[in-house]
Amino acid sequence: NALGTGVQSDSKDYKEAPPAPLFEPGELKSWSFYRAGIAEFVATFLFLYITVLTVMGVNRSHSKCASVGIQGIAWSFG
Find out whether 63 and 48 touch, Cβ atoms under 8 Å. Answer: no
Residue 2 lies inside a defined structural domain of this protein: no
Residue pLDDT, tens place only, 42-69? 999 999 999 999 999 888 888 777 888 8
d(CA 77, CA 55): 10
Print burial letters for 13-23: b (CB count within 10 Å at least 16), e (below 16): eeeeeeeeeee
Residue 6 scores a pLDDT above 60? no
Residue 23 lies inside a defined structural domain of this protein: no
Residue 9 scores a pLDDT above 80? no
The pLDDT of residue 72 is 87
Residue pLDDT, tens place only, 33-42? 999 999 999 9
Residue 47 lies inside a defined structural domain of this protein: yes
Q: Which one, of 75, 76, 57, 77, lies nearest residue 67 by Cα?
A: 57
Domain count, the chain: 1
d(CA 61, CA 75): 18
